Structure 1
């Protein structure tokens, strides 16, 4: 059997922006701006000609990103993708223009795929007959139901006879009659030896139609093999997943992806820069390879700077031109005194203030994320668009709260230290009671017997780099050239001993325990057996 689709170490990275300002910074700054979000990470698999592969995984696993990569809709960030022949993606409304009619969409999509007018006229009746949407074929697609969009998209894609067919949840809408019709058509493709990727949440359909399964979890390939091998493992996982609470499920689906992918991306880059590619290569050759890599990076950096400089100059021309026009037309401040009185606060503003007062939320209230990670939403509901990610222990200032009756949840509008805004569920945050720093330090010293003592080490926080006192087993962290914390490696005592003298930690997550002081955070990490591994002391974040 010949190979039809090959993925080699494929990673797809996106930038997460909190505002339009962040997007502009991403364009202008040489190294970009914004948090990296790895939708897929180090994907490796090979599909043979005639393979019918069911792509499975919970929401957010990276299935749709994978389908877009196979279809060539988006390029990979790194890695190599090889697709032999023409590929076609079938998804609800994929590639359809809402303003055009169904007939016009057929013509447009076929033209984009390289068909000429004569070939399109020959295909048109067959596509329209398969879609079976009646008079709606001459109505704008924006008036279609999701089932009708799926019918039209499926009809176009299967009748252009692609070599690789990617079906992304296209059979999840519509009636059973149409689903059966689609499955019959897909079976024809199987008999012709075409490669099919079938993305679906319906395990029954995957079992019935596919003979291989690709299981994605958190943007990575968890397993790839025959249906008999992979699906029972996935079904077992689903049973355990369904036992989780709603909040735990959302955290799993929404939060694990970036954290794991980002970590492993960094590890893979480190590995790439170290031994694997240079094993057995002479030292002078290794040095030359490293020098070449540095030169390539330097050239790429210069190219990015040049592009962004051109964009900045273009924006300046537009802004200055607009300002000149505004001055001429008297639209800008002309030096005249504004004698208008300050407007009275609006009724809406008064109501807003009353609502905040009723919610008993003060501007100086700080909340800390108590779950492994959580989405920051654009609006106070679970279905709103996520605008960022928050991780365990991060601090946010609360502006106001709002109750969602439909979900029975309280939402908090928060800002971080960069003044980025969003909404988080109150169930994902905690408001720890402050402890006395000196009491915490004294009790920890007495219990574990640090060397240095915390009484000696804590005063090093705030000192300039080079001025701090060096201690054995102590590593300092810096911010703006000053010490903002330190970590002491330990191999003594257990977290249960600490709890006896300090009480329960204000924040706890697996092997991490946080005690909040007035000025400092005391963070203990442990081994699996509960023995303390490290103590980190750092300044509490100021918002």
Structure 2
């Protein structure tokens, strides 16, 4: 029997900062800054083809982290992960786009996995039938309950026939009938020799379904073996923990947190697997005295950080500039200001060109810092979303550039430059708007577009909640229009080649003032269109 999953000394570390400025100190100080948190430490095990492994442990033990690493959702901080085959993660809502319908999510996930259109059309009825969510299949996923999301995610994953299946608490929100249906399906996977990881707090399900058990405690492997060997140990631990007083539980949790804030040696970890009371605190090893070379290095780094901060505040440029040149520049600015004031009011000044880019993939994550290995996901962007780039930084490891922009909430986030592109506006937008009007049978489209930025009260009786979307400031930000099942040929004949397209099912036309995004259904007929004002 061949090996399907191998983890060797896998560790996942996160940094915990009290305030954003701590991240800067972490970058410039030789030993870093901020508290370390080890979600996983030195995880090593092997899974064979046909193994059904239950992953058990209390909340916060690292079960979801290890499932994300096995499925490839997140990378480990260190160690080796070898996966032989395709892995699929089933979690509540994992991989589902809330803005798309259930049917569109099925198609999207299958396309991302490399399925052809004909294969997706063949799988679609089977997936919908298994999910048992009825007419909700054609509603946006954001309107689903957690149980419906779990059903849809499970139905997609099991019907695409992966080699390795990771089920993370996906059956905890469903009813017993559907849970049994899922267990029956997983039993058929077991007969085919698939490898399954089953994460659950239900010891009954673990005993019934799994052959092996992996017990995680405080991010480490406490035990790994057959269910008959491991589960009784875990049940004994849970009973002892429940008998603890409130103060004893508090001290126990403090010891766990202290342990997860530092890197353990292999010997220390092996000792921690044997007994529950091994989580007691140990004396930290004494640090060796820092040599004079290290001290010099710290001084050099601090000086460099100070100079870098000065550069960011444009102070260096100010002091290095020649005073005479500054005086001349000031005089020139005064003269230019006088000339501008003398010009007719009708003549507009030229605004600085903004770096606006558009998302070219279906969905993509934005992160809190420009570092793939250390960053956290903040939210998602969708195809056709526009971002205004404020800063560009190179990833310290991967080598590509990160682009900084602001969310609608004002939060600064970063996105990979690989996910976005610059677009040139369509020629003669007025003619283009007229063509769109004919497609939508809306002679008043041009007048409607002029209401962007106005509130519902300002628009008055023409305000239509069914077709108009308003932002947090109450201003019109999007129009949603219906199309009469137009073919690709009809759209191309009327509007020409789109500025950006996604799998021939989504077209984006970019103008000087407005963006038009057309959406097609599964049969390739365009039925919906969204209109937005151009960013910036």
TM-score in terms of structure 2 length: 0.49
